[in-house]
């Protein structure tokens, strides 16, 4: 098999310090055989978009538990589009109430994984959606 490994950037935007889930997802994606870049905490939207472009990733994943997901996802969406990364898979996880999930999908985040999601759901979602 010469199949290319899927490359994922997992980022913690904003000031939120909850990184237990993000680090668990990073480990799950690595175990699934993906290449994973984890940004660490407190990344600005600019830094995340720049890192995604530079590393040439297939997937941009955001983890936000502070409740600020809509404003952050909107700013990051604008920057990802500016960099021409609209064809990549954008996903977001965290403490996301039901009524916000559709808003995030409409912003272009095709995968929304609220608290309580299983890591294998995230892995198979990425496998299915990365071209």
Q: Which residue of 7, 51, 103, 119 would you call a contact of another protein, by CB under 8 A?
A: 119
Q: Dmax of the chain from CA atoms?
A: 42
Question: Any residues with CB less than 8 A from the CB of 6 and at least 6 apart, and which?
Answer: 33, 34, 35, 58, 59, 126, 127, 130
Residues binding another protein: number (CB under 8 A): 33
Question: Of residues 72-101, which lie at the interface with another protein (CB under 8 A)?
Answer: 72, 95, 97
Count of CB atoms situated within 10 Å of the CB of 28: 16
> Which span sits near another protein by CB under 8 A: 32-40, 50-58, 77-85, 102-110?
32-40
Q: Which residue of 54, 82, 102, 118 would you call a contact of another protein, by CB under 8 A?
A: 118
Count of CB atoms situated within 10 Å of the CB of 65: 20
Please list the alpha-helical segments (H only) found in 2-118.
20-31, 45-55, 69-82, 98-107
Q: How far is the CB of 4 from another protein (least distance, A)?
A: 20
| Sites of contact with another protein (CB under 8 A) | 14-20, 23-24, 26-28, 30, 36, 38-42, 44, 66-68, 71-72, 95, 97, 114-116, 118-120
């Amino acid at each position: 098999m010469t199949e290319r490994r899927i490359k994922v950037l997992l980022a913690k935007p904003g000031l939120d310090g909850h990184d237990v889930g993000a680090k668990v997802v990073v480990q799950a994606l690595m175990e699934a055989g993906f290449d994973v870049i984890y940004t660490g905490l407190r990344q600005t939207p600019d830094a995340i978009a720049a890192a995604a472009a530079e590393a040439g990733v297939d997937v941009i994943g955001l983890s936000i538990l502070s409740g600020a997901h809509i404003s952050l996802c909107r700013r990051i969406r604008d920057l990802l589009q500016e960099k021409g990364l609209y064809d990549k898979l954008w996903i977001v996880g965290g403490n996301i109430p039901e009524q916000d999930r559709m808003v995030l999908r409409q912003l272009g985040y095709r995968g929304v994984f609220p608290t309580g999601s299983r890591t294998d759901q995230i892995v198979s979602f990425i496998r299915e959606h990365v071209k």
